[in-house]
Amino acid sequence: MPGKLVVQNLIKRYGDFDAVRGVSFEVAEGEIFGLLGPNGAGKTSTLECVVGLRRPDGGSIQLCGIDAIARPAEVKHRIGVALQSTSLQDKITPREALALFSSFYPRRAGVEQLIQRFALEEKADSSFDSLSGGQRQRLALALAFVNEPEVLFLDEPTTGLDPQSRRDLHASILDMRREGRTVLLTTHYIEEAHSLCDRVAIVDRGKVIAIGKPDELIANAAALPRIVVRAASPLDSAGLSALPGVRQVESNNGQAQIKSGNVSRTVIELVRMLEASGNELLDLQITRPSLEDVFIELTGSSLRE
């Protein structure tokens, strides 16, 4: 059975620049799917092609079983979109904006219902130019819901938000999945992709370089767990390198970072070595590989560069 969204060999050019170079992925019904990559990777261009804001230069898009390139108007009645920033008339209120946007669709959610769902009661009759960043983003989500969409597209939904607003928005996105809606979001935040998405496509320089569940991508990575240790007396790098499982040791300012292929054995022998030498253990942290490590391994560069 085909997915709710099927993108095959998508291409988008701007003059001589290839922003999207043969991107392919499939999103299942009821799934939160993330396009993860740095700014400029091609995530937004991909999303804009999928929702009909830009016409692709190649490839195919099937959305809710519809050819989205050939029949964009039909698709738009079944999707909701929240872009990176929402611009409305300065003096329009959330209540007025929701009523206006709802009038564009034959199937629509109730304005009061949307105001309550997205916690806009206190600002429902305030002008748009008085809303905070988090309130504007909640309004953007409410506007994306006016036609009760089957599929939601969210482009960098939490960029620029404070931590509390980001947490509130994450809760709203997870509610969408509980309702059985399909969500595609773009993000360059590692933690966001890991905590929200059922699967992610890692995008770099206009191409998809890996697709999978976040934990599976991490498990298949070659990156090793890291043990960060600090002791009362400086640690001997040669002694640490001789511990079982150790592949690499870096020491700096009395702190050692150890990469190990067998964390349990390394830690046990590390503690024994410290006890034998009378050296006091002050701190020990174990860090597993992350999606950041996966990205660096696949592309050779940091996600935030």
Report if residue 13 sits inside a domain.
yes
pLDDT band at residue 220 using 50, 70 and 90 as cut-offs:
confident
The CATH number of whichever domain residue 9 belongs to comes to 3.40.50.300
pLDDT value, residue 1: 45
Q: Are residues 192 and 235 in the same domain?
A: no
Across the range 248-262, mean pLDDT stands at 88
Report if residue 293 sits inside a domain.
no
Tell me which of 218, 238, 261 is where a domain ends: 218
DSSP state of 189: -
pLDDT value, residue 271: 93
How many Cβ atoms are within 10 Å of 116's Cβ, its own excluded?
Answer: 13
Report if residue 241 sits inside a domain.
yes
Cβ-contact 165, 134 below 8 angstroms: yes
Please tell me the distance from the alpha carbon of residue 240 to that of residue 175, in angstroms, as a whole number: 48
Nearest 5 degrees, angle CA 24-CA 29-CA 30?
A: 120
Cβ-contact 1, 30 below 8 angstroms: no
Cβ-contact 134, 170 below 8 angstroms: no
Across the range 109-124, mean pLDDT stands at 92
Across the range 33-43, mean pLDDT stands at 90
Please tell me the least confidently modeled range out of 41-45, 269-273, 286-290. Answer: 286-290
- Please tell me whether residue 212 adopts helix, strand or coil conformation: strand
pLDDT band at residue 268 using 50, 70 and 90 as cut-offs:
very high
pLDDT value, residue 305: 45
Please determine, for residue 2, whether its predicted confidence score (pLDDT) is greater than 60.
no
More confident residue, 159 or 268: 268
How many Cβ atoms are within 10 Å of 47's Cβ, its own excluded?
Answer: 22
Q: Are residues 204 and 88 in the same domain?
A: yes
Report if residue 59 sits inside a domain.
yes
Q: Are residues 49 and 136 in the same domain?
A: yes
The CATH number of whichever domain residue 244 belongs to comes to 3.30.70
Q: Are residues 171 and 23 in the same domain?
A: yes
pLDDT band at residue 130 using 50, 70 and 90 as cut-offs:
very high
Q: Are residues 76 and 136 in the same domain?
A: yes
Across the range 137-144, mean pLDDT stands at 91
Report if residue 298 sits inside a domain.
no
* pLDDT tens per residue across span 54-70: 999 999 999 999 999 99
Q: Are residues 9 and 64 in the same domain?
A: yes
Please determine, for residue 218, whether its predicted confidence score (pLDDT) is greater than 60.
yes
Cβ-contact 255, 228 below 8 angstroms: yes
Q: Are residues 212 and 243 in the same domain?
A: no
Q: Are residues 116 and 262 in the same domain?
A: no
| Total of domains in the chain | 2
- Please tell me whether residue 238 adopts helix, strand or coil conformation: helix
Report if residue 304 sits inside a domain.
no
Q: Are residues 200 and 51 in the same domain?
A: yes
Q: List, as one string, the DSSP characters of 85-143.
A: -----TT--HHHHHHHHHTT-SS---HHHHHHHTT-GGGTTS-GGG--HHHHHHHHHHH
What domain range is 166 assigned to?
5-218
Tell me which of 218, 252, 279 is where a domain ends: 218
pLDDT value, residue 292: 83
Rounded to two decimals, what is the model's pTM? 0.83
Q: Are residues 150 and 277 in the same domain?
A: no
Report if residue 142 sits inside a domain.
yes
Report if residue 118 sits inside a domain.
yes
CA 81 to chain centre: 16
Bridge partners for 11 per DSSP: 21, 58
Which of 3-7, 91-95, 168-172 is modeled with the greatest confidence? 91-95
pLDDT value, residue 289: 85
Q: Are residues 146 and 196 in the same domain?
A: yes
Tell me which of 179, 199, 218 is where a domain ends: 218
Q: Are residues 47 and 12 in the same domain?
A: yes
Q: For strand 182-187 and strand 32-36, is the pairing parallel, antiparallel, or unpaired?
A: parallel
pLDDT value, residue 282: 92
